[in-house]
């Protein structure tokens, strides 16, 4: 089954008001002739509205890096899915390894976020991945099974249509280490089989599974041509127009 490719730039806690707009506009300009790949960027919260307005009408989608799973309330410092939609977002990342391991977000909370985002009509990029110690101990599949089962618990096959899974080996994020194309393919194929067990083969075959972990222009093509790799969640390389667009082109 031919699936679309999805390339998303996660800007993390980088850019300022001026550079965020300039970067988004430059990426949008570079996508004018793109008809093959879905592309999005996830700026920091303060720049979401500015970026959304700057690229309105283009082929570039805007997403968020996180949100709190409530419509409103006394949650100091948090933002809701509805606020993100009003700021121009069509999707959000949930469960990035930095939120799991640095900010200690538990699986139960991530499951609530997935459900709240879907209920609000946001697309969800749900991140999963193992630590280096877990891979070396041979626990990669067990870790992924637990994270996926916990994070997507209670979802229907219909709701899963709004979900993309991003496999991000934690040991390859910002380290310069990258899973080999074969390693990425093996894990992506495993994830697809696990989804088939949980939600059925039809759902599994249409599910997009991205790779995230030090994706750069020089390794993107080999990774993206693997049969079960449906795109990339890009960190540092998404902060420069040329490198990000080169990764998009590698997905053609």
Annotated catalytic residue, options 61, 96, 98, 130: 96
Q: Token digits for 139?
A: 């626990």
Q: Token digits for 163?
A: 């979900």
**What is the share, in percent, of the chain residues with pLDDT greater than 70?**
100
Task: Give the tens place of pLDDT for each residue, 59-74.
Answer: 999 999 999 999 999 9
Annotated catalytic residue, options 61, 98, 130, 168: 168
Structurally, the chain folds into a number of domains equal to 1
Assess if residue 81 is contained within a domain: yes
Per the annotation, does 213 bind a ligand? no
168 catalytic per annotation: yes
Assess if residue 31 is contained within a domain: yes
Task: Give the tens place of pLDDT for each residue, 133-184.
Answer: 999 999 999 999 999 999 999 999 999 999 999 999 998 887 777 789 999 9
Assess if residue 54 is contained within a domain: yes
- Ordered DSSP codes for 89-134: -SEEEE--HIIIIIS---HHHHHHHHHHHHHTT-EEEEEE---HHH
pTM greater than the 0.75 cutoff? yes
Query: CATH number, domain at 217?
Result: 3.20.20.70
| Domain hosting residue 209, numbered range | 5-65+77-250
Per the annotation, does 47 bind a ligand? no
Q: What is the mean pLDDT of residues 27-45?
A: 96
Assess if residue 70 is contained within a domain: no
Give Cα separations from 187 to 7, 134, 228 (angstroms). 19, 14, 9
Q: What is the pLDDT of residue 62?
A: 98
Per the annotation, does 12 bind a ligand? yes
96 catalytic per annotation: yes
Assess if residue 71 is contained within a domain: no
Per the annotation, does 5 bind a ligand? no
Taking a C-beta distance cutoff of 8 angstroms, is the pair 46, 79 a contact?
no
Q: Token digits for 141?
A: 């599949």
Q: Sign (positive/negative) of CA torsion 4, 168, 114, 72?
A: negative
Three-state secondary structure call for residue 207: coil
Per the annotation, does 82 bind a ligand? no
Q: What is the mean pLDDT of residues 208-236?
A: 96
């Amino acid at each position: 089954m031919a699936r679309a490719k999805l390339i998303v730039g996660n800007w993390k806690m980088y850019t300022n008001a001026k550079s965020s707009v300039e970067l988004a506009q430059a990426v949008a300009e570079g996508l004018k002739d793109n008809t093959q790949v879905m592309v999005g960027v996830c700026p920091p919260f303060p720049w979401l509205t500015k970026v959304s307005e700057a690229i309105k009408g283009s082929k570039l989608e805007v997403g968020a890096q996180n949100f709190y799973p409530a419509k409103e309330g006394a949650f100091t410092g948090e933002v809701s899915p509805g606020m993100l939609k009003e700021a121009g977002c069509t999707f959000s990342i949930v469960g990035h390894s930095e939120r799991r391991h640095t900010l200690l977000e538990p699986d139960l909370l991530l499951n609530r976020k997935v459900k709240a985002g879907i209920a609000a009509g946001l697309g969800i990029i749900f991140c999963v991945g193992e630590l280096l110690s877990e891979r070396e101990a041979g626990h990669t599949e067990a870790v992924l099974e637990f994270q996926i089962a916990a994070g997507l618990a209670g979802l229907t096959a219909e709701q899963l249509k709004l979900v993309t899974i991003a496999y991000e080996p934690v040991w390859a994020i910002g380290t310069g280490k990258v899973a080999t194309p074969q390693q990425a393919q093996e894990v992506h194929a495993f994830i697809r089989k696990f989804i088939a067990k949980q939600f059925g083969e039809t759902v599994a075959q249409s599910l997009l599974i991205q790779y995230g972990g030090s994706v750069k222009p020089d390794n993107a093509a080999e990774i993206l041509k693997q049969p079960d790799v449906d795109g990339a969640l890009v960190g540092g390389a998404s902060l420069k127009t040329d490198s990000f667009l080169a990764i998009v082109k590698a997905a053609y």
